[in-house]
Amino acid sequence: MSYSDKVIDHYNNPRNVGSMDKSSADVGTGLVGAPECGDVMKLQIKVNRDTNVIEEAKFKTFGCGSAIASSSLATEWVKGKTVDEALAIKNMDIVKELSLPPVKIHCSVLAEDAIRAAIGDWKKKQESAKPVTSAVAQ
Q: What residues make contact with other proteins under the rule CB under 8 A?
A: 1-3, 8, 11-14, 17, 19, 31-42, 60-65, 67-68, 103, 110, 113, 117
Q: Which residues pair with 45 in a beta bridge?
A: 28, 57
Classify 40 in phi/psi space as left (phi over 0), alpha (psi -120 to 50) or beta: beta
Could you tell me if 117 and 40 are in contact, meaning their C-beta atoms sit under 8 angstroms apart? no
Rg value, the chain, Cα: 16
Q: Which residues pair with 43 in a beta bridge?
A: 30, 59
Note if 107 is an active site residue. Answer: yes
> What whole-number distance in Å separates Cα of residue 78 and Cα of residue 86?
5
- Of the residues 107, 110, 118, 119, which is catalytic? 107
- Of the residues 25, 37, 88, 92, which is catalytic? 37
> What whole-number distance in Å separates Cα of residue 14 and Cα of residue 74?
11
Distance of closest approach, residue 13 Cβ to other proteins, in angstroms: 7
User: With respect to other proteins, which residue has the nearer C-beta, 36 or 127?
Assistant: 36
User: With respect to other proteins, which residue has the nearer C-beta, 69 or 85?
Assistant: 69
Distance of closest approach, residue 9 Cβ to other proteins, in angstroms: 9
Distance of closest approach, residue 138 Cβ to other proteins, in angstroms: 44
Note if 64 is an active site residue. Answer: no
Would you name the residues annotated as active-site residues? 37, 107
